[in-house]
Structure 1
Amino acid sequence: MRIGIEAQRLFRKKKHGMDIVALELIKALQKIDTGHEFVVFVRPDTDDKVITPGANFEIVRVEGSPYPVWEQFKLPPAVKKYGIDVLHCTANTAPLNSSAPIITTLHDIIYLEKLNLTQGSMYQRIGNLYRRWNVPRTVKKSKIITTVSNFERKRILDHFNLPEEKVVTVYNAVGSHFKKITDPTELERVKKKYNLPDEYLFFLGNTDPKKNVRGVLAALAILKQQGKLRLPVVMPDLDSLYLTQILNDIKAPDLANDIVLCGYIPNVEIPAVYSRAVLFLYPSLRESFGIPLLEAMACGVPVVTSNSSPMTEVAGNAALYAEAAEPESIADNIDMLLNNEQYRQQLIEFGMERIKLFSWENTARQMLSLYEKIV
């Protein structure tokens, strides 16, 4: 069987959630003796050494931009040319005229639940418009829909009124390089490269409103006003103008002195950044899974996250939960964790146990069984 995997953004330098999921799935499939042939379809870009072809893995670079044009008009001829028996589309959308049956990974349907053309970057807003047009059609065309949590599965089933058997939960996992970094040379190298403090709170977010940057900053402002913000806060890949705008909106411009903006950090260096953190903040308003929860746990960092699914589904008893829409709740949980070393250590231990429930090998084997089911 010839299995096609659409991973168009795999070679771009800045990889985010869905890109990392596709990369880890492909790497896990490469380690399994499947007896099948795989063709990975990508758009040419600069980071083209993240995967290498093998005896049963071919990498096909398909030119074309922007991505809706690539997906709808460039990918289908390539699928036909390479004799694909089943095509796995890994990032919510799919070509509507594929010659091969399709499995689509639908990470979430947030963009279908509410249309807001005033928040997020222009790239995010245009992407959401395309997804609103494409995803309902993709759902009808796909033989199977996979998603990444039971929480999201129920939302997809309810939204599209689908039969239970069409939507399958396939959990994400965390890369094997995510572990507590103790090598002082590596820790110091990363510290100098990104101008990091010795200790800090760590937050991953961007301009997407669901990441709750405003709520986190409001919580930090409360702690600062109370004299309880004793550590700086590291925020990679966050736009400085966006940060300044929010700080002015919440009337806390002085909080900028406590925030370290260090730019984009590649996935391979993030473990060293986690490993210096005292705690990890992830109080998102909405997620479909939350891979950073597992990343932090694997690196031995206690987590403050949202008291809602899927965060509770993924983190279980290994996180401290706050009301994401209430900055006071986030602030209280940060303060409690910073002042209770025994509880911090308990959460770290729980986290190390929790991550054992998730592995990319299990994810790959589950996906493989679905590929085989279709053909």
Structure 2
Amino acid sequence: MQLIFFCHPPFMQSQSMPRFARMIGEAMKERGHQVEYWAPQGRVHKLLSETRLASLTSLAKWAGYIDQYILFPIEVKLRLLPRRQANTLYVFCDQALGPWVPLVAQHPHVVHAHDLLALRSALGLIAENPTSFTGQLYQRYIRRGFRQAKRFISVSKRTTRDLAQFGGVAAHASEVVYNGLNQAYQPMSTQAAIDTLRQAGIPADERGHLLHIGGGQWYKNTAGVIRLYAHYAAQHPNPLPLLMVSPSPQSVDVQDALATVPAQGSVSFKQGLGNEAIQAAYSLAQLFLFPSLAEGFGWPIIEAQACGCPVLTTDDAPMNEIGGPAARYLPLLQASMNIDQWAQSGATIIDEMINTQVAKDPDLIKQRIEWASQFTQERAIEAYERIYQSIVDKTP
């Protein structure tokens, strides 16, 4: 096959999506397929960056829109003029690239769908993340584009449902392929984990710790994590510390939550850890707290499980879909709920999991590792290739 990957422009400074595109593309090259990457070049954006107006964020954004939605479509149409090979497939690496779908809607194509959180927010369905009027228009513009696609690959069943419910995409048009782990996480011995964390500047407690890993976005429920810990710590004279691999707290709700942590509790924030230190943090944790309000996939859940670490996450898709029977669950924290009542209930589960030593039970450790082992990049790549080939084969 000849695979043309539509990618986010480099000036967007996104890391995950370009990495995702390259991961698939390079794997397909190794399997003998021809691969090209198409993305806007950022001509207008570059011109603006060389002027005194470069510091104006709004102008930079509009310059990027010109590159993406005026100049790039012209470039794509010119590239499509020559007759392309019969076995060519156009692959959109993110449904957010929807405005470009109509350019190749009459050719074999597929869209990788990650999550529809931005669209759901724009539709007013997520109270915690209100969207501006222009943001609402932009998300509708994206949806109008990707609706014209005939085939999708979703990272979870939740994404498939959201595509149908909010995107207007027929459910049968989407096939689920779970993401594979980016790193070969596995349990690390207690002493090795302690040494690794101390080398990373983290004063590791030999008893272990409670752990949260997240980017601090609204859906990570950082304040909820800390409220859970505060209620747990209040019940013990010498509670386990909470390690937050997350940006330093800035929002009022997180600051308010920190103020409820009792004196005997300990909450520390750390950023920029390498993979080995993250593996050590999972391996030493007595419990991984991940009470997200929403997720696209939920990588940390299976990362923790791959290290044998117990997981307490949200009983809502895709978290319960990814965590499976190897995780424990909390109710989804909704805006109408009393956060302290929710946290007190969660603290009871935390106590139970720590007291029953689920982190050290060999059978449970084995269950968690076996569950996480199904999420491999090799399995994902094989599924992508199969779907790509089926689309090309069915094209007249």
The answer, yes or no, to whether TM exceeds 0.5 is: yes
Match of 2:151 among 139, 144, 150: 144
CA contact (8 A) 1:214 1:246 kept: yes
Residue equivalent to 2:383: 366
Provide the residue aligned with 2:224 in structure 1: 215
Written as runs of structure 1 = structure 2, the 5 A alignment for 1:186-265 is 188-198=195-205, 199-227=208-236, 230-242=239-251, 245-248=253-256, 251-252=259-260, 258-265=266-273
Structure with the higher fraction of residues in helix conformation: 2
Deviation at 1:87, TM superposition (A): 3.0
Q: What SS does the corresponding residue of 1:341 show, helix, strand or coil?
A: coil
Please report how far the alpha carbon of residue 339 of structure 1 lies from its aligned counterpart in structure 2 after TM superposition: 0.9
Structure 2 Cα separation of the partners of residues 106 and 249 of structure 1: 34
CA–CA separation in structure 2 for the residues paired with 1:196 and 1:24: 35
Q: Provide the secondary structure at the position in 1 that maps to 2:36.
A: strand
Q: Is the 2:181–2:303 contact (alpha carbons within 8 Å) kept by the matching residues of 1?
A: yes
Q: Secondary structure at the match of 1:93?
A: helix
Distance between the aligned counterparts of 2:356 and 2:259, measured in 1?
30
> Does 2:36 match 1:39?
yes
Per-residue CA deviation, residues 2-48 of structure 1 (Å, 9 max, x unaligned), is 312244388999855x56654544454354x2x321123578xxxxx
- Taking structure 1 as reference, are residues 39 and 151 closer, same or farther at Cα in structure 2, changes over 3 Å only? same
**Residues 1:111 and 1:356: Cα distance change in structure 2 (over 3 Å):** same
Q: Which residue number corresponds to residue 29 of structure 1?
A: 28
* Residue 284, structure 1, aligned to residue 292, structure 2: yes
Distance 1:137 1:336, change over 3 A: same
Q: CA deviation at 1:91?
A: 2.8
User: Which runs of 5 or more structure 2 residues have no equivalent in the other structure?
Assistant: 46-59, 334-341
Question: Residues 325-336 of structure 1: matches in 2 within 5 Å?
Answer: 325=333, 326-336=342-352
For residues 58-97 of structure 1, what are the structure 2 equivalents within 5 Å? 66=61, 68=65, 71-73=68-70, 75-76=72-73, 85-94=88-97, 96-97=99-100
Cα separation, partners in 2 of 1:91 and 1:229, compared to 1, 3 Å: farther
CA-to-aligned-CA distance 1:181-233 (integer Å, 9 cap, x gap):
34966863443224242332110233422211122111111112222661211
| Gap change, CA 1:15 and 1:183, over 3 Å in 2 | farther
| Counterpart AA for 2:345 | S
Distance 1:108 1:228 in 2: 42
SS at 2:326 equivalent: coil
Aligned to 1:4: 4
Range 205-214 or range 314-323, more displaced: 205-214
Say whether residues 1:341 and 2:357 are aligned partners.
Answer: yes
- What is the SS of the residue equivalent to 1:141? coil
**Judging changes above 3 Å, is the alpha-carbon distance between structure 1 residues 316 and 119 closer, same or farther for their aligned structure 2 residues?**
closer
- Do 2:298 and 2:318's aligned partners in 1 also have CA atoms closer than 8 Å? yes
The answer as to whether partners of 1:5 and 1:40 remain within 8 angstroms in 2 is yes
* TM-aligned CA distance change 1:131 to 1:274, over 3 Å: farther
Q: CA deviation at 1:371?
A: 2.5
Over residues 40-62 of structure 1, what are the superposed CA-to-partner deviations in whole Å (9 max), with x where a residue is unaligned?
A: 3578xxxxxxxxxxxxxxxxx77
Contact 2:25 2:35 in 1 (8 A): no
The number of aligned residues is 352
Aligned counterparts of 2:357 and 2:190: Cα–Cα separation in 1 = 23
Quote the offset at 1:351 in angstroms.
0.9
Q: CA deviation at 1:286?
A: 1.6
Instruction: Tell me the residue number matched to 1:159.
Output: 166
30 and 111 in structure 1: CA distance in 2 versus 1, 3 angstrom threshold = same
Matched to 2:373, the amino acid is: K
Q: Is the alpha carbon distance of 1:167 and 1:294 closer, same or farther for their aligned partners in structure 2, counting shifts above 3 Å?
A: same
Greater alpha carbon shift after TM alignment, 268-277 vs 355-364: 268-277
Q: Counterpart in 1 of 2:53? A: none
Structure 2 CA distance for aligned equivalents of residues 196 and 111 of structure 1 = 38
Alignment partner, residue 323 of structure 2: 315
Q: Which amino acid aligns with 2:356?
A: N
User: Is residue 2:111 matched to residue 1:104?
Assistant: yes
Distance in 2 between residues matched to 1:239 and 1:89, nearest whole Å: 34
Structure showing greater Rg: 2
The CA deviation string for residues 115-161 of structure 1, in whole angstroms up to 9 with x for no partner, is 479966x9x97996576234312322323122111222123213344
Task: After TM superposition, list the pairs within 5 Å mapping 1:99-138 onto structure 2.
Answer: 99-101=103-105, 102-115=109-122, 129=136, 132-138=139-145
Q: Is the 8 A contact 2:230 2:265 kept in 1?
A: no
Q: Residues 362 and 285 (structure 1 numbering): CA distance in 2 closer, same or farther, change over 3 Å?
A: same
TM-score (norm 1): 0.78
TM-score by length of 2: 0.74
Q: Is the 8 A contact 1:289 1:314 kept in 2?
A: yes
Query: Where does the alignment leave 5 or more consecutive residues of structure 1 unmatched?
Result: 44-60
Separation of aligned partners in 2, 1:317 and 1:158: 27
Task: Give the 3 Å change call, closer, same or farther, for CA 179–76 of structure 1 in structure 2.
Answer: farther
Moved more, 308-317 or 1-10: 1-10
Pairwise CA distance, 1:234: 1.4
